[in-house]
């Protein structure tokens, strides 16, 4: 989601009270509030798909999966991650979390640089965070930063599987991009369908048009 800066500084208390009655969501970053604009169809699909995959695989565990309406508190900042998983009970507030294990952000053109740099560095200060996941909506690419790898990034593409060791969960990149409309996904599905047809009738592979 894109952010629009509001030119005034407020306290944490003022921010939290304001969010209870605000018509639109805001993030609090270094004392300044930023209004969050709407997200695209692909952005929503990617968030929902990731949420569904994690939530289904974590059923029966203490871990809870949240989507973009739940805030995360990082020092004195507040963000609305697209998806996050929390495995510890939050005793401070029902409106924000402080101990996520995984945070997922879907990249938008207006927030790509911030999500990959400044926001990533802020998130890495969360002591419980083990993995930070960035999902691209324009191409089929997922970037995962892992604490145990000293926050080195790893890239995953259609046909790959990602394992989140902190949760003991494996997710297929293909499932994250289910129903998403971009060139990479369309090409992948076309190739997959052609392979399936060829497997059924191998003679088609040698036939000329």
Give the DSSP H/E element, type plus range, for residue 44.
helix 41-57
Which of 85-89, 133-137, 150-154, 168-172 comes out lowest in average pLDDT? 85-89
Average pLDDT in the chain: 91
Answer whether residue 8 shows pLDDT above 90: no
What distance lies between CA 120 and its chain's CA centroid?
12
CA distances to 41, 129, 137, 151, 173 from 132, in Å = 22, 8, 16, 9, 15
Provide the pairing of β-strand 131-136 with 100-107.
Answer: parallel
Task: Name the pLDDT band for 196 (thresholds 50, 70, 90).
Answer: confident
- The pTM of this model reads 0.88
CA distances to 42, 161, 191, 207, 208 from 203, in Å = 37, 31, 17, 7, 10
- 160-165: which pairs have CB atoms within 8 A and are 24 or more residues apart? 164/102, 164/130, 164/131, 165/130
| The predicted structure's pLDDT at residue 73 | 96
How many C-beta neighbours within 10 Å does residue 101 have? 18
CA distances to 12, 25, 49, 90, 162 from 175, in Å = 38, 28, 7, 30, 11
HSE toward the beta carbon, residue 87, CA cutoff 13 A: 15
Residue reference for tokens 């297929």 = 172
| Stronger pLDDT, 48 or 205, i.e. the higher one | 48
Q: Report whether 33 contacts 8 (CB < 8 A).
A: yes
**What integer is the mean pLDDT of 18-44?**
92
Distance from C-alpha of 165 to C-alpha of 114, rounded to nearest angstrom? 26
**What integer is the mean pLDDT of 163-190?**
96
Answer whether residue 1 shows pLDDT above 50: no
Report percent pLDDT > 90 for the chain.
Answer: 79
| The predicted structure's pLDDT at residue 205 | 52
Answer whether residue 3 shows pLDDT above 50: no
**CATH tag, 39-205:** 3.90.1570.10
What distance lies between CA 164 and its chain's CA centroid?
13
Domain segments of the chain as ranges: 39-205
Task: Name the pLDDT band for 206 (thresholds 50, 70, 90).
Answer: low
Task: Name the pLDDT band for 2 (thresholds 50, 70, 90).
Answer: very low
Answer whether residue 4 shows pLDDT above 50: no
């Amino acid at each position: 989601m894109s952010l629009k800066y509001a030119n005034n500084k407020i306290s944490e208390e003022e921010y939290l009270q304001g969010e209870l009655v605000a018509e639109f969501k805001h993030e609090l970053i270094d004392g300044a509030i930023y209004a969050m604009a709407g997200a695209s169809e692909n952005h929503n699909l990617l968030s929902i798909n990731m949420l569904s995959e994690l939530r289904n695989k974590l059923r029966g565990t203490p871990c809870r999966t949240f989507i973009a309406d739940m805030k995360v508190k990082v020092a004195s900042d507040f963000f609305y991650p697209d998806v996050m998983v929390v495995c510890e009970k939050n005793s401070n507030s029902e409106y924000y979390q402080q101990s996520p294990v995984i945070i997922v952000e879907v990249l938008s053109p207006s927030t790509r640089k911030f999500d990959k740099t400044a926001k990533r560095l802020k998130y890495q200060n969360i002591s419980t965070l083990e993995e930070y996941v960035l999902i691209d909506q324009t191409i089929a690419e997922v970037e995962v930063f892992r604490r145990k790898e000293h926050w080195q990034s790893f890239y995953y593409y259609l046909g790959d599987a990602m394992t989140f060791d902190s949760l003991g969960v494996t997710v297929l990149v293909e499932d994250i991009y289910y129903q998403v409309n971009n060139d990479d996904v369309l090409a992948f599905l076309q190739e997959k369908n052609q392979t399936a047809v060829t497997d059924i009738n191998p003679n088609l592979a040698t036939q000329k048009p």
